[in-house]
Amino acid sequence: MCDKSLLRREPDSKKVRVKFFLLVCLFASNANAEIKVAFFRCYTPSLKAVQLTPGGKFCHVAISHNGGWLHAHPVDGVKWKKNLPEITGGRCENILIDISAPAVPHEEVTPWIGKPYDASFRWETKEATYCSKLVGCLLKVPPTLMTFKSPFWNGFKDLPVNEVGISPDEIYHELLRRNYQEDDDSSQSLGQG
- State pLDDT tens for residues 141-170: 999 999 999 999 999 999 999 999 999 999
Confirm if 78 and 72 have CB atoms less than 8 A apart: yes
**pLDDT per position as a tens digit, 2-46:** 334 433 444 455 544 434 433 333 333 444 579 999 999 999 999
Structural domain boundaries in the chain:
32-189
- What's the rounded Cα separation, in Å, for the pair 20 and 89? 47
**Side chain identity at residue 89, one-letter code:** G
Residue 81: pLDDT band with limits 50, 70, 90: very high
Q: Is CATH 3.40.1390.10 the classification given to domain 32-189? A: no
As a whole number, mean pLDDT of residues 119-142 equals: 97
Choose among 89, 131, 94: nearest CA to 112. 131
Choose among 183, 160, 180: nearest CA to 171. 180
Q: What is the pTM of this model?
A: 0.80
Confirm if 132 and 166 have CB atoms less than 8 A apart: yes
What pLDDT score was predicted for residue 33?
72
- What's the rounded Cα separation, in Å, for the pair 78 and 66? 15
Confirm if 40 and 90 have CB atoms less than 8 A apart: yes
**Other CB atoms within 10 A of residue 131 CB:** 29
